[in-house]
Amino acid sequence: MTDSINVREIVLDMLLEVTREQKPSHVVHRQMLEKYQYLEKQERSFLSRLFKGTLERLITLDYVIGCFSTVKPAKLKPVIKTILRLSFYQLMYMPHVPASAICNEAVRLAGKRGFKNLKGFVNGVLRNAARSLNNVRWPDRSREPLLYLSVMYSAPEWLVKLWSESYGFSVAEKMLADSLCEKPVTVRCVHEDQVPQIRQILEAEGVTVTPGSLVNYALKLSGFDHLSGLKSFRDGLYTVQDESSMMVVEMAGLKAGDTVIDVCAAPGGKSCHAAGRLMALAGPDGACGHVFARDLTAAKTRLIEQNRRRLGLTNLTVQVKDACIPDPEDFGRAQVVFADLPCSGLGVIGKKPDIKYRMDMEQIKALAALQREILTATQKAVAPGGTLIYSTCTVNPAENIENARWFAENFDFVMEEERQFIPGTDLCDGFFIARFTRRPKP
């Protein structure tokens, strides 16, 4: 790399943005890729690996730092703690990086950031660790199972307890292990009948392509620098979307001419999927139906609009609306309503690891209550005999099946199907989908 010291300093700032300023990790990462496009591919790859890897394993790293530091991680200055975290990640998970370089550059970073008096401390901790990492005593799996999972897979103990009680220890461990695995980017081919051609175009651009696992118009991509650098992406041949999310439209059973309302739509993956599917279903008269994609703020709806334009969807209208407030003009209007609702996001911690450090059980209870409020308002828009799809990107019964059963018990709907996708078991994100049908009027 041309300037490894600067690359590590960039990662330091990125990590502080997430841990100290509470910025979403995927936003920080995307902005970094855009800002430092001039760096060589190898440098950006190192930067991404160090940022994402360190963030994924904060609890593990703090445990090991605590084995070598006389000051526990919780008492360290944020800058010094972050320098140690990214340095320990390199020592533990990037064996091709020389330990001497890791130590030297950590010391230089500490001095550059105004902590010259702590350079000796940083140097001593790292050089001791470099000699003795193999001597770390890890929690015992049989005697302290929850602590073991927490430390080994860098997950807070409340989350380990929740998943262990809900799904069993072995499934919980699979989910946690899966959250640390590097995965290809999953995309949905916009023209579902042109998957072979799109695959050929991608491969000609140097992208490694494998087929999806759940639907035949999904592809998994790896080996590229960044998506926006691919002409095929700019041309709107595909869009980033996990297969579990694609299953929402699959389970909806869309028909030509349907009116669809998506109440919490940003960034618009399902709305665009539905609009494209309706266009493909259009009959000789050209009536293809219409999708109304809504979200709470203009900032969110701008994301939907960007996707709508890139994909050329003329049957998609983007609107700013509060899903908690019923609109009388919507009552009985839609054949299909998508309610992909705010949730804890525990099914996507493999892509957004900061979620697991920010979420807690109190927030989850509040989100489950918010889901019920939105479902109560949203169900009014479903026409008799119409469909409501309730979905979340989490793996937590209180937000998923318990709310789905509550909805079926309290409104004039029948739950026709439910699916809980489990990361590490199913080859997709953790995701829940329930399909309801409104009973026809007598």
Residues involved in catalysis: 393
Nearest to 151 by CA among 47, 67, 26: 67
Specify whether the CB–CB gap between 392 and 419 falls below 8 A: no
Nearest to 419 by CA among 174, 168, 218, 248: 248
Can you tell me whether residue 310 is helix, strand or coil? helix
State whether the Cα torsion 184-28-150-137 is positive or negative.
Answer: positive
Burial class (CB in 10 A: 0-12, 13-18, 19+), 113: middle
The structure tokens listed for 36 are 């430092």
Nearest to 382 by CA among 341, 334, 324: 334
Specify whether the CB–CB gap between 367 and 399 falls below 8 A: yes
Q: What is the DSSP string of 378-418?
A: HGGGEEEEEEEEEEES---TTTTHHHHHHHHHHSSEEEEEE
Strand partners, 413: 438
Q: How far apart are CA 395 and CA 1, in angstroms?
A: 40
